[in-house]
Structures are given as C-alpha cells and as structure tokens.
Structure 1
Amino acid sequence: MTDFEFQVDNFMLFCSSKNLSRKTMASYEQALKLFGQYLKQQFKIDEVTKVQTGHIRQYIKYLRERGKYTVVSTEESKEVNHPESRSDFKKDISTATIANYVRNIKVFFNYLHDVEKEIPKNPLTNVESPKIERKIKKTLAPEQLKKVLSQFDLSTFHGYRNNVIMRLLLDTGMRIGECLSLLPESIDFKHKSIHIINTKNKQERFVYFSYKTANELKRWMKYRDRYSDSPFLFPTIRGTQLEVRNYEKALRDAGVKVGIPIHPHQLRNNFAKYYILNNGDWFSLCRILGHSSVEVTQKAYLDFTDEEIGKKYQKHSPLTFMDI
C-alpha cells in the first residue's frame, strides 16, 4: 500500500466517524482513487507530501480532455458496468463533475493539513474550482406531469406504486431516497404530515401533503396491505426496499414514452418552484426542503424564467391594487 492509498483509507475512516452518508463517502473515495492513479501514472507520485499545486491544475486540464468513463478506479468495475457500451462514453466531462472532483480532493487535503497535520502546505489553497454555468431548471407544466403519470399501469403493483411515489414527491418536495425509506408509521393523516428520519443532513424534519394526496396514500396503503407485508411504504413486489436507481429508471422510461425528460430530483425542484409561484414563502419552503438557510434554498432550486417572473409580477403589481 502506498502512502497516498494509506492516507485515503485513513480519511475514509475519519469520514465514517463523522457519520457522513454513503453517497458522500463513495463520491470522495472514487475521486481520490482516480486522482491517485493519475499522480502515479503521470508523475510517479505516491506520497501526499509530494503533491503540488501544479499537479492539481494539470489534473483539471486532464479531466477536461479525457472524456467520460475512459478511466475507472478499479479494472473489475469495467466487467460489471461495461462503460464502453454507454451512449455517453468518451463524451466531455461536465464542468459540474470536474468541480465536484476538485471539491472532493480539496476536502481530502484540508483534512491532511488542518486535522492530521500530515502536510506542511495545502496544495489546493490557491486552486479555484471550475466555475459552473447555472442552467435554468425546466418547470414541467401540469399537462406534462399528467402525461408522465398516465404511463404507469395502475393495474400492476409496481405501476400503481410508482404513480403514487411520483405524486408524493411532487406534493412534498421530498428527496427520492427519503421517500423510498418511508415506513407507514411515518405518516400522520391527522396533521397531513410525514416525519422524515433518513435525511441527507441527518436532521429530522416534517413535510406536509394535501387532501388530494391524503386520499391517494390511504388507497395505496389498503392496496399494499393486500399484497405485501413489507415494513416499507413503497416496497418491491418481493417486499424489499425499492432502490433509488430502479425508481429513477422507471420514471425516466415513463417520460421517454411521452417525450418528456424527467427524473426524481426534478420533481423536488418543481415542487419548490410551484410553491413559490403559488405564493408560498421562502422560510417555510426552506424548512420543508430541509435546507440550512433560505439562501441555500434560493441558490439551489429557484431558477425562474422571465415568463414565470412576469406572471408572478402581475399577481403582485403595486399599482394594480391601488386606487390611483
């Protein structure tokens, strides 16, 4: 084991002790293993103390040029994932992905410098992450959402389940991972609320649902109880927990049938936009989404088009409500 690999293993143990999510830890480990491979192959570097700022900048340049899935952290993963068969194989890596890699590497070297004191100087101190051009997230019209919902076969267990999940995501703003880990006892029909325990930031919170969704959930739970004794609210037909990637595929496939690109996080984004467009306030939206501040909510989700701003303005124009 090289010094770099040893330090990465130590870092991952540190992350485990901080109770970080599996998704975050997997992102760190993949980014660091790929960076370690690059340092070894290009510069014959396998010690963290030898990494310099120039190596980081060279790596960013390399990422911009190499193309998607042309490098893997382990050769065994090629046999499982078959990256060469992907439609986006060798296409440009997005700036957002490169920025994420740089951020993960920066967290690692911050740990080495600030926590463990393993390196005298942090090579990422003067390295700026690539600037990401924010794209306006598309708001799906009610007609489009209705078309996608209609693609789920309500006569089948999985079709009915997927339809209800989509409705619940759109009505509550939950993350898909939070939704799929729900248990029936998390639902409070009296207050029309859901207690979410398995959150991204480990902070429990409540989300709320409408009368319409309350009726949908009651019907689903009666149906589910006839065919499953699973502890999960939205199980597979075998009773196991439905995996995020499997629901993502089901939703994407439903959208493809009607020519509408869609994914679960887009439903969370649409919930947020419609909440504000329907005169909801930023503070309560921040609480519902589980963000640390209103600024985080505004920055992460609310990209309004000029048309949406124009329509909202007409509802709130000062002169409209003045007798002058």
Structure 2
Amino acid sequence: MTDFEFQIENFMLYCSSKNLSRKTMAGYEQALKLFCLYLKDEFQIEEVAKVQTAHIRQYIKFLRDRGKYTVVNVEASKQVNHPESRTDYKKEISTATIANYVRNIKVFFNFLYDVEKEIPKNPTAKIENPKVERKMKKTLTPEQIKKVLTQFDCSTFHGYRNYVVTRLLLDTGMRIGECLSLFPESADFKHKSIHVTNAKNKQERFVYFSYKTANELKKWMSYRDRYSDSPFLFPTIRGTQLEIRNYEKALRDAGQKVGIMIHPHQLRNNFAKYYILNGGDWFSLCRILGHSSVEVTQRAYLDFSDEEIGKKYQKHSPLTFMDI
C-alpha cells in the first residue's frame, strides 16, 4: 500500500467517525482513488506530501479532455460494467461533475493539512472550484404530470405502487430514497404527516400530505395488505425493499411513452416550486425539504421563469387586495 492509498483509507475512517452518509463517502473514495491513479501513472507520485498545486490543475485539464467512463479505479470492473457500451461513453464530463471531484480532493487535503498535519503545505489552497453554470430546473405542467401518471398500469401491483409513489413524491417533496424506506406506521393520517427517519443529513423530520394523498395512501395500504406482508410501505411483489434504480426506470419509461423527460428528483423540485408559486413561504419549505438553512433552499430553487414570476405577481399584487 502506497502512502497516498494509506492516507485515503485514513481519511475514509475519519469520514466514518463523522457519520457521513454512504453516498457522500462513496463520492469521496471514488474521486480520491481516481486522482491517486492519475498521479501514479502520470507523475509517479505515491506520497501525499509530493502533490503540488500544478498537479491538481493538470488533473482538472485531464478530466476535461478524457471523456466519461474512460478511466476506472479497478480495471476488472470493465468486464462487468462494460462502460464502452454506454451511450455517453467518451462524452465530455460535465463541469458539475468536475467541480464535485475538485471539491472532494480539496476536502481530503484540508483534512491532511488542518486535521492530521501530515503535509507542510496545502496544494489545494489556491485551487478554485470550476464555475458551474446554473441550469434552470424545469417545471412540469399539471397536464404533463397527468400524462405521466396515466402510463402506470394500476391493475398490477407494481404499476399501482409506482403510481402512488409518484403522487406522494410530488405532494411531499421527499427524496426517493426516503420514500422507499418508509414503513406503513410512518404515516399519521390524523395530522396528515409522515415521519422521515432516514434523511440524507441524518436529521429526522416530518413531511405533510394533502387529503387527496391521504385517500390514495389508505387505498394503497388496503391493496398492499392483500398481496404482501412486507414491512415496507412500497415493497416489491416479493416483499423486499424497492430499489431506487428500479423506480427511476419505471418513471423514466412512463415519461418516454408520452415524450416527457422525468426523474424522481424532478418531482421534489416541482413540489418546491409549486409550493412557493402557490403562496408557501421559504422557511416552512426549508423545514419540509430537510435543508440546513433557508439560504440553501433559496439557492436550490430560486430560478423561476419570467412566466412563473408573472403568475405569482398576479396572485400577490398590492392593488388586487386594495379597494382603490
């Protein structure tokens, strides 16, 4: 094991002690191991103390040039995943992805410099994250949402389940992982709320649902109880927990049938935008989404189109409510 590999392991243990999510840790490990491989191949560097700012700048350039899935951490994985068969193989890596890699590398070297004192100088101190051009989150119209929902075959167990999951995501703003981990007892019909215990930031919270969703959930629970004794609210027909990727595919396929590009996080985005457009406030939205601050929520969703702002204005125009 090289010094660099040892320090990656040390850093991952540190992350575990901080109780970071598996997804966050997986992102760190992938980014660092790929960077480690690059330094070894290009500069024969195997020690963290030998990494210089110029090496990181060269790596950013390398990421821009190399294309997607052309480099893997474990060569044997190519025999399993067959990256060359992907439709986006060798396509340009997005600036957002590169920014994530750079951010993860900076966290690693900040740890080595500030926490462990393993290096005399932080090579990332003068590295700026690539500027990511913000893309406006597309708002689906009610008509588009209806079209997608009609594509689920509610006469089948999985079709009806996916239909209810889609409505619930749109009505509550939950993340798909949070939704698929729910148990029936998570839902409180008296207060029309759901207790989310497996949130991304480890902070439990409540989300809320409408009377329409309450009725749909009750119907689903009755139906589910006839065909499954699974502990999960939205299980597979075998009773196991439904995997995120399988629901993602079902939703994507439903959208493609009616010419609409859609994914689970888009439902969360649309919940947030409609919540504000319908008169909701940023503070309560922040609590419902499980963000750390209102500023985080505003940065994520403060991208309304001119048409959306115009409609919101008509609802809240001062003169509309004045007898003058």
TM-score normalised to the size of structure 2?
0.99
- Distance in 1 separating the partners of 2:80 and 2:289: 35
| Residue 316 (structure 1) shift | 1.6
Amino acid at match of 1:184: P
Within-5 A mapping of 1:67-216: 67-216=67-216
Q: Partner of 2:227 in structure 1?
A: 227
Structure 2 match to 1:237? 237
The equivalent of 1:54 in structure 2 is: 54
What one-letter code is carried by the residue in structure 1 that aligns with 2:197? I
**Residue 321 of structure 1, CA deviation:** 2.9
**2:15 is the alignment partner of 1:15:** yes
Gaps of 5+ in 1: none
In the alignment, the residues of structure 2 paired with residue 180 and residue 208 of structure 1 have an alpha-carbon distance, to the nearest angstrom, of 16
3-state SS in 2 of match to 1:102:
helix
Cα contact 1:272–1:302 (8 A) shared by 2: no
Cross-structure match for 1:247: 247
Deviation string, structure 1 residues 211-247 (Cα, Å, up to 9, x no partner): 0000000000011111111100001111111111111
CA–CA distance in 2 between the matches of 1:151 and 1:235?
20
Q: Percent identity?
A: 85
User: Secondary structure, in 3 states, of the residue corresponding to 2:59?
Assistant: helix
Deviation at 1:19, TM superposition (A): 1.1
* Matches of 1:86 and 1:269, distance apart in 2: 27
Distance 2:321 2:80 in 1: 63
2:263 alignment counterpart: 263
Q: Shift of the alpha carbon at 1:173?
A: 0.1
C-alpha distance in structure 2 between counterparts of 1:245 and 1:120, whole Å? 44
Give the secondary structure class of the aligned counterpart of 1:312.
helix
Q: Is the 8 A contact 1:196 1:205 kept in 2?
A: yes
SS in 2 for 1:260: coil
Secondary structure at 1:69's aligned position in 2?
A: coil
CA distance in 2, matches of 1:316, 1:69: 49
Q: Which moved more, 1:297-306 or 1:128-137?
A: 297-306
Moved over 6 A (4+): none
Q: Which amino acid aligns with 1:104?
A: N
**CA deviation string 1:170-222 (max 9, x = no partner):** 00000000000001111100000000000000000000000000000000001
Contact 1:63 1:93 in 2 (8 A): yes
Q: Distance in 2 between matches of 1:289 and 1:80?
A: 37
Cα distance in 1 between the residues matched to 2:13 and 2:76? 23
Following the alignment from structure 1 to structure 2, what is the Cα–Cα distance between the partners of residues 154 and 178?
23
Aligned CA RMSD, in angstroms, stands at 0.8
Do the aligned partners of 1:192 and 1:208 also contact (CA within 8 Å) in 2?
yes
Displacement of 1:313 in angstroms is 1.0
SS in 2 for 1:207: strand
Give the match's secondary structure for 1:135. coil
User: Which residue in the other structure is 1:300 paired with?
Assistant: 300
- C-alpha separation in 2, matches of 1:274 and 1:188: 24
Per-residue CA deviation, residues 302-321 of structure 1 (Å, 9 max, x unaligned), is 31001101111111222333
Q: TM-score, normalised by structure 1?
A: 0.99
Aligned residues: 324
SS at match of 2:119: coil
* Counterpart in the other structure of 1:65: 65
> 2: distance between equivalents of 1:88 and 1:272?
30
2:285 matches 1:285: yes
SS of aligned partner of 2:194? strand
- In structure 2, the gaps of 5 or more residues are none
8 A contact 1:154–1:160 mirrored in 2: yes
Cα distance in 1 for partners of 2:169, 2:263 equals 11
